[in-house]
Amino acid sequence: MDLNGKIVLITGGAGGIGAGTARRLAKRGAIVWAVDVDDASGRELEKELGPPHRYRHHDVTDAAAWKSLVAEMRAAHGGIDIAFLNAGIMFRARGAPALGDDLIDLVTRDFDRYRQVMAINTDGALLGALHCLPAMGGRGRDGGGAHIVVNSSDSGLRVHPWDLAYGMSKRALVSMLETLAPLYVKRGVTMTALCPAGVDSGISPSDFKERRIAQGQDYASTDFAAAAVETILHEGKPGEVWMARHQDHGFWVYPLPAVPAQVDAMPGKPRIHPYVPLQD
Ligand SMILES: NC(=O)c1ccc[n+]([C@@H]2O[C@H](COP(=O)([O-])OP(=O)(O)OC[C@H]3O[C@@H](n4cnc5c(N)ncnc54)[C@H](O)[C@@H]3O)[C@@H](O)[C@H]2O)c1
């Protein structure tokens, strides 16, 4: 896809991977709308990028706000070509340590935080996908293609032993992709997922980073994740999952569905247990 002149929406666009992607796509000639709840960082980015790029306050969990954001973008440009649904949080507050807590106890004590993780990471991305679709006008505003990239995580593909809510919220996005990508492609929109692992942003708990570095696994840059998004926009096929682990490894691309549509085509042999009907 030629990115020049494309209208791009980036949620969670004020910092980390979102801001890195805004910078990269703006350099390629796209017109970026970065939206976030961190207005101070968002305004800084808006100043750095300059017009025609914009920052807007937008909480991805707010369905009414989605309606007005998409309406504003339609009024300004006639629609949206690309959406990077990237906003996300982890269960622990930014900068707090993660290791050493009892995971079950943690979620039991603060179920509201669990709900917030699910609301931002999962509901926020679903709302974005649903609201952007009608503004994508089939194959984008000029027929040159429309693409939604959902930012899941390597935690969406494997067990996340330190953050139950985060792992659940990110796995749900892979399930969303499996279901929606084939439907969206019929409406002219490619849907793919990015699954980063260990990117140097503010989201990771402090001790994760220390431990990874002690194990000789340094963090990837936010531009590495942004480069993955750019490459996905050029080459990503509907339903693909792009794992971005570290700059030394490049991007690992997995086709979906990972799980077959037919239950009897599941890999491996199931253990079969007989059914015993209820007797009088
Ligand atoms: N950094 C990593 O190692 C890593 C790995 C896998 C996946 N991810 C995913 O990448 C995405 C971006 O994370 P990041 O690493 O850049 O961290 P980050 O904390 O720098 O960026 C997340 C952004 O989302 C914004 N946000 C939070 N709640 C919001 C809401 N309700 N509405 C709109 N915006 C909101 C934050 O203000 C922040 O700017 C997240 O979805 C994260 O789960 C990150």
pLDDT tens digit sequence for 216-247 = 877 899 999 999 999 999 999 999 999 998 88
* CB of residue 205 inside a 6 A radius of ligand 1: no
Secondary element (H or E) of residue 104: helix 103-109
Amino acid at 21: T
**Strands (DSSP E) along the chain, which ranges?**
7-11, 31-36, 54-57, 82-85, 146-151, 189-196, 241-246, 250-254
Find out whether the peptide bond into 51 is cis, omega within 30 degrees of 0.
Answer: no
Report the separation in Å between the CA atom of 155 and the middle of ligand 1, taken as the mean of its atom positions: 14
> Which pair of structure tokens corresponds to residue 223?
């531009």
Question: So what's the pLDDT on residue 258?
Answer: 57
Find out whether the peptide bond into 257 is cis, omega within 30 degrees of 0.
Answer: yes
* CB of residue 201 inside a 6 A radius of ligand 1: yes
**Which residue did the predictor score with more confidence, 103 or 253?**
253
Where residue 249 falls among pLDDT bands split at 50, 70, 90?
Answer: confident
* CB of residue 128 inside a 6 A radius of ligand 1: no
Catalytic residue set: 166
Report the separation in Å between the CA atom of 79 and the middle of ligand 1, taken as the mean of its atom positions: 25
* CB of residue 126 inside a 6 A radius of ligand 1: no
Question: So what's the pLDDT on residue 261?
Answer: 62
Question: So what's the pLDDT on residue 64?
Answer: 98
Atom of ligand 1 nearest to the CA of 59: 32
The tens digit of pLDDT for each residue in 56-115 reads 999 999 999 999 999 999 999 999 999 999 999 999 887 777 767 788 888 899 999 999
Q: Give the least confident one: 29-38, 229-238, 246-255.
A: 246-255
Burial (CB < 10 A; 0-12, 13-18, 19+), residue 40, is: exposed
Vertex 265: Cα angle to 262 and 271 (nearest 5): 115
* CB of residue 19 inside a 6 A radius of ligand 1: no
* CB of residue 190 inside a 6 A radius of ligand 1: no
* Of 10, 66, 68, nearest in space to 42 by CA: 10
The protein residue whose alpha carbon is closest to atom 31 in ligand 1 is 59
Question: So what's the pLDDT on residue 63?
Answer: 98
Question: So what's the pLDDT on residue 116?
Answer: 98
The tens digit of pLDDT for each residue in 137-161 reads 878 788 888 999 999 999 999 888 8
pTM score, two decimals? 0.95
- Determine what percent of the chain is predicted with pLDDT higher than 70: 96
Query: Which residues, 6+ apart, have CB-to-CB distance to 79 below 8 Å?
Result: 7, 73, 135, 136, 137, 140, 141
Report the separation in Å between the CA atom of 194 and the middle of ligand 1, taken as the mean of its atom positions: 13
* CB of residue 156 inside a 6 A radius of ligand 1: no
pLDDT mean over 24-51? 98
> Which pair of structure tokens corresponds to residue 63?
């369905």
Where residue 260 falls among pLDDT bands split at 50, 70, 90?
Answer: low
Ligand 1: which of 44, 45, 201, 221 to mutate, judged by most atoms within 8 Å of the beta carbon?
201
277 has a pLDDT exceeding 90: yes
Give the domains, in start order, of the chain with CATH numbers.
7-256 (3.40.50.720)
**Which residue did the predictor score with more confidence, 89 or 215?**
89
Atom of ligand 1 nearest to the CA of 14: 39
Helices (H), 187-250: 206-214, 222-235
> Which of 20-34, 91-105, 130-144, 256-270 has the highest mean predicted lDDT (pLDDT)?
20-34
